[in-house]
Amino acid sequence: MTRRDYVFGFGSLVDIVALAEYLDRTPFLKHEFLQCRLRDHRRAWNIARDNSVVIPGHNHHICAVSGERLDGYVVVVNIRSAPGHAVNGIAFQVSDTELAVLDRRERNYDRIDVSDQIDAGVDGRVWVYRGKPEAEARYRAGVSAGTAVISTAYHTLVHLAFESHGADFLAEYLETTDPPDIPLRALRRVPTPP
């Protein structure tokens, strides 16, 4: 029997239209993902990348108004351990190739097995991407320096991803997410040449 692998999405990976496009699939159908919860966690805006570091082939951020490259830290959503709590999201099946694609995309995260923490019956192994310790350290450095921001576009994208699954799903997202303690800023992602 072939092992089945799933990924639990708790942020931008909840956007099934963008996810299907990213994985080069036809659009996800309702039966191809499962709304569920990851136990003993909360969402938090607490990992970052240093936008001043050039990573060939990866995006960086510029100010949407001035066009200047942001000299600071760009913060994204993460999960943190929180016994007795849970975060909502979706579990979707992935091939080995798709898992490798997501591993490259989620370079600020470690992929960990959370099969025993998913509250719904999933017939396989379930992975989640949790922020790397060094990404959390970058967040703290950015907060300390006063240069950590969240892209307004990304913040909105995550909100709309949950809203696309219904009002109750969005309400649960808001209830299970620590509100950000840093400002939102109008940024634009641009590719860095390889």
pLDDT confidence of 91, banded at 50, 70, 90?
Answer: very high
Per-residue tokens: 56: 């060939």
Query: How many C-beta atoms lie closer than 10 Å to residue 18's C-beta?
Result: 13
Backbone angles phi, psi at 163, to 5 degrees: -60, -30
* pLDDT, position 170: 98
Radius of gyration (C-alpha) of the chain in whole angstroms: 17
Q: CA-CA distance, 184 to 124, in Å (whole number)?
A: 38
pLDDT at 73 over 60: yes
pLDDT confidence of 193, banded at 50, 70, 90?
Answer: confident
Q: CA-CA distance, 110 to 129, in Å (whole number)?
A: 5
pLDDT at 20 over 80: yes
Section 137-148 average pLDDT: 97
Q: What's this model's pTM, rounded to 2 decimal places?
A: 0.92
* Strand 148-151, strand 184-185: pairing: parallel
DSSP three-state, residue 134: helix
Q: CA-CA distance, 25 to 16, in Å (whole number)?
A: 10
Number of residues that this document lists for the chain = 194
Section 146-159 average pLDDT: 97
Interacting residues of 166 by C-beta distance below 8 A, sequence separation 6+: none
* pLDDT, position 75: 98
pLDDT at 164 over 80: yes
The domains of the chain, with CATH numbers, are 5-191 (3.10.490.10)
* pLDDT, position 182: 97
User: Which residue bears the tokens 């909105």?
Assistant: 156
